[in-house]
Structure 1
Amino acid sequence: MRKINIAVFGTGQISEQVCQWITNSEKANLQAICGRNVTRVSELARIYRPHNTYVSIEALLLDPAIEVVYIASPNATHYDYTKLVLQKKKHVIVEKTAFYTTKQTKEMFHLAEQNQVMLFEAMRTIYEPNFKILSENLSCIGELHSVTLRYQNYSKQCLLSNQPAILDDAHGGGTLRTIGIYPIYIAVALFGKPETVYYHRQKKEESKDYGGTLVLDYKTHPVIINVSKIANSLETHSEFYGSKGTLKLDRCFDIKDLTYFPLQKRSEAIATYAVTTNGIEHEFNYFINAIENKSYKYYRQAKALTLLTADIIELALGFGKKDIK
């Protein structure tokens, strides 16, 4: 079986997970590791043994063997780096959150089309087998009344840090873009485009997104998303409420448990797949299969979710309550 040549740009924890997956994959070859931290690049190279190492993306893009570049640099740099890679006619997998604005997102997809390559946003949850099981079992609760999704993770670093990228909208950071994107993707993958979007921030500090309550209003039901980096929820699970009962989801990524609570009856555990040790496995299999098989149907599906999620985040952060046209 032919292996596709992937370069990893970035040296953080998520990049190491990707290097690990590529090394163990029958579908991919680790062609290069690239990053500005020379020491860290050397450390990863000793463990995962790429064909080449680079300290600049410009040098990396001169390697003709590279077919796909995975970008895991800080969010605010994604746009510039993705543009460089797409112009070299190489496929891109860019870590969430992919781009700062809807305009940037549309521009990058258009550039990918012009250069006849594919562009994906890495968002593991919707590619997990247990997310598919969730989708297939929603009908068991009957008519859907409402949904509550939670991802609250207190971060002392956010409150103390002087690094603007952590919370500042202007640097591509903030709670919606870092952890809120997980439940947003769940909502749009299950229900599509909401009619209205409203975000009530926990702290009214200009250009800072500490978290809050995001409401996505659909015709038949609301989806209420609670996210925060300055508060912890005593319960981490999410719930889908219906006319026949409630479906409980243990968390919004690396989903392990699904439980059905019929009205006035005992709860029933729904059979799920065991979570693997490397959570990026399923999304990368999806991306590589789409690229290798030229599966434009699956590519368009992923693209549509990325565009819709970008639109929702931009509306929430920029305008508060506004109809989606």
Structure 2
Amino acid sequence: MKTIRWGIIGLGAIANDFASDLNRVSGTVIQGVASRSLTKAKNFAKKHKALKSYDSYEDLLADTNVDVVYIATPHHLHLEWTLKAIKAKKAVLCEKPLGVNAHQVRQMMTAAQGEKVFLMEALWTRFNPTMEEVIEKLKSNPIGKLRLLKADFCFHALDQSSEHRIFNLELAGGSILDIGIYPVFLAYILFGKPQEIKAYSQFHQGGSELQTSVLLNYEDCQAQLFSSFAFRSEMTAHLYGEKGQLCVDADWFQSDSYRLLTGEGEQVYKHPKKGIGFCHEIEAVNTALRNSKIEEARWTLQNSLELIEILDEIRNQVGAVYDFE
């Protein structure tokens, strides 16, 4: 089995978790990590057994031993460093959202397809074992015709300053792109593109969007979605059909279990995830690269484009836009 050599750009909290799971996946090595601070890069490399540390993203991209780059920078830098990685002929796994808007995602798609380089948005939930089974099970209509999805992603962050990345407008802050993407993803992966979108937001004192309610209307079902930095919710996802319910347990976007409730009673299905939960998308990327694929069939670039188009419409409706767009 070919060893896949990873590089990491941006060494924040999510990169720490991701690196921990990289070391849990066989046939994988962390070739290099990059931060603007060499001390930070060296400490990160020591903690996660990376072979090299860089104080320049460019230097990591110039490392010929790096096969694929995981980009974990703030949202507003995804476009720049994804394009630079593609130009350097590196495969790319970029944290969600792939781009801040559809225009950015199209630029990345064009670049990756032109260079014939692998590119995928890191939406780990798509590869979560529980979510994979839920998606497949619903194809056989175990709860009858689907009528409603309720899902949210909320946590308390009001103790953070307006300069924190989740509130900072210059960094594409706001709940929609940071956490609202998850419930919208769930509706999209189950039902596709909606016929109608309605969204309402409230804003943080610094001007960024704080919490948002979204209603997606389909031909014969609806999705009620919510995201917020103002409080913590139960973070379960509920699907209601004409013959029963399916509930993905908390935290639904990384859950180990779901429940099926019908006239025959309740059935519980458990699917423990590997490590923190990133192992599954890492394995998907590794397999794609070993098979010389430039996309992963379960989450394609077209999927990422259609998802961000929904998020664009939500942000446009509520006025959660950025000066740099």
What's the TM-score once normalised by structure 2's chain length?
Answer: 0.90
Counterpart code for 2:128: E
The match for 2:242 is 243
**Structure 1 partner of 2:159:** 157
In structure 2, the CA distance between the partners of 1:164 and 1:40, relative to structure 1 (3 Å rule), is closer
Quote how far apart the aligned CAs of 1:218 are: 1.2
Is there any run of 5+ residues in structure 2 with no aligned partner, and where?
A: 320-325
Distance 2:43 2:117 in 1: 31
Cα distance, 1:48 vs structure 2: 2.5
Q: Aligned with 2:270: secondary structure?
A: coil
Cα separation, 2, equivalents of 1:281 and 1:258: 20
Structure 2 counterpart of 1:278, one-letter code: I
Which string of whole-angstrom CA distances, capped at 9 and with x for unpartnered residues, describes residues 146-174 of structure 1?
1111212121234xx13164235553221
- In 2, the alpha carbon distance for the partners of 1:299 and 1:132 equals 13
- Number of matched residues? 316
The residue aligned with 1:267 is 266
2:281 maps to a residue whose letter is E
- One-letter amino acid matched to 1:148: K
Q: Post-superposition shift, 1:72?
A: 0.5
Match of 1:146 in 2: 148
What are structure 1's unaligned runs of at least 5 residues? Answer: none
Q: 1:135–1:190: 8 Å Cα contact kept in structure 2?
A: yes
Q: Which residue of 2 aligns with 1:9?
A: 9
User: 1:82, 1:296 → 2: CA distance?
Assistant: 14
- Whole-Å separation in 2 of the counterparts to 1:268 and 1:215: 29
Opposite residue 70 of structure 2, the aligned amino acid is Y
Q: Distance in 2 between matches of 1:151 and 1:22?
A: 26
What SS does the corresponding residue of 1:216 show, helix, strand or coil?
A: strand
* CA deviation after TM superposition for structure 1 residue 267, in Å: 2.4
1:290 and 1:299 in contact (8 A); partners too: no
RMSD of aligned Cα (Å): 2.1
CA 118–268 in structure 1, closer or farther in 2 if over 3 Å, else same: same
Q: Quick check: 1:182–1:252 contact (8 Å CA) kept in 2? A: no
Q: Which residue of 1 aligns with 2:314?
A: 316
**Which aligned runs of 4 or more in structure 1 are off by greater than 6 angstroms?**
none
TM-score (norm 1): 0.90
Q: Equivalent residues in 2 for 1:21-32 (5 A)?
A: 21-32=21-32
CA distance in 2: counterparts of 1:202 and 1:5, whole angstroms:
43
What is the 5 A alignment of 1:35-50?
35-50=35-50
Distance in 1 between residues matched to 2:295 and 2:49, nearest whole Å = 34
For residues 46-91 of structure 1, what are the alpha-carbon distances to aligned partners after superposition, in whole Å with 9 as ceiling and x for unaligned?
A: 2233222111111112211111111111111111111111111111
Aligned identity (percent) is 25
Partner of 1:104: 104
Contact 1:197 1:320 in 2 (8 A): no
Tell me how far 1:206 sits from its aligned partner: 9.0
Q: CA deviation at 1:229?
A: 0.8
Q: Which residue number corresponds to residue 56 of structure 1?
A: 56
CA displacement 1:20-44 (0-9 Å, x = unmatched): 2333322222110111132221212
Q: CA deviation at 1:204?
A: 8.5
8 A contact 1:198–1:320 mirrored in 2: no
